């Protein structure tokens, strides 16, 4: 289990610094299944989770929604039959923050648990 799963998100301000290249490389080692992507000029973490049916994908989506609401940090979630795509990034800063890696690790834990 990643040490990131035990950490809480910190309140993020619009002037908070984005994760540096070194920080991103270090943090991504703890969530290796996640892709670093750029969408609309913003760096994001993305992962696709596979399920055997819609009900399991929906249950996972709801779990991630509850985790997000508890931390006040919300992803983009695309629910499809047997598949859930999750993207984390920090809207206020238009890119990646340590919070995104924490939530990616928690998403992984929810998938495995």
Q: Give the pLDDT of the chain (113 residues) as one tens digit per residue.
A: 458 777 777 767 777 889 999 999 999 999 999 999 999 999 999 999 999 999 999 999 999 999 999 998 999 999 999 999 999 999 999 999 999 999 999 999 999 85
pLDDT at residue 11, rounded to an integer: 65
pLDDT at residue 26, rounded to an integer: 94
User: Which residue range forms the structural domain that includes residue 63?
Assistant: 20-112
Residue 1 lies in a domain: no
Residue 15 lies in a domain: no
First to last CA, the chain: 11
| H helices present in 3-97, as ranges | 21-28, 54-71
Residue 7 lies in a domain: no
Residue 98 lies in a domain: yes
Residue 63 lies in a domain: yes
C-alpha to C-alpha distance for 71 and 61, rounded to whole angstroms: 16
Please name which of 27, 9, 106 lies closest in space to residue 63, comparing C-alpha atoms. Answer: 106
Are the CB atoms for 21 and 58 separated by under 8 Å?
A: no
């Amino acid at each position: 289990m990643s040490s990131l799963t035990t950490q809480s998100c910190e309140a993020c301000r619009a002037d908070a610094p984005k994760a540096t290249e070194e920080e991103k490389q270090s943090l991504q080692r703890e969530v290796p299944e996640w892709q670093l992507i750029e969408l609309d000029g913003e760096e994001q973490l993305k992962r696709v989770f596979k399920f055997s049916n819609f009900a399991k994908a929906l249950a996972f989506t709801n779990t991630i929604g509850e985790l997000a609401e508890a931390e006040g940090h919300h992803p983009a979630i695309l629910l499809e039959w047997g598949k859930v795509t999750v993207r984390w990034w920090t809207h206020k800063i238009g890119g990646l923050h340590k919070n995104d890696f924490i939530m990616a690790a928690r998403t992984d834990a929810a998938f495995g648990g």
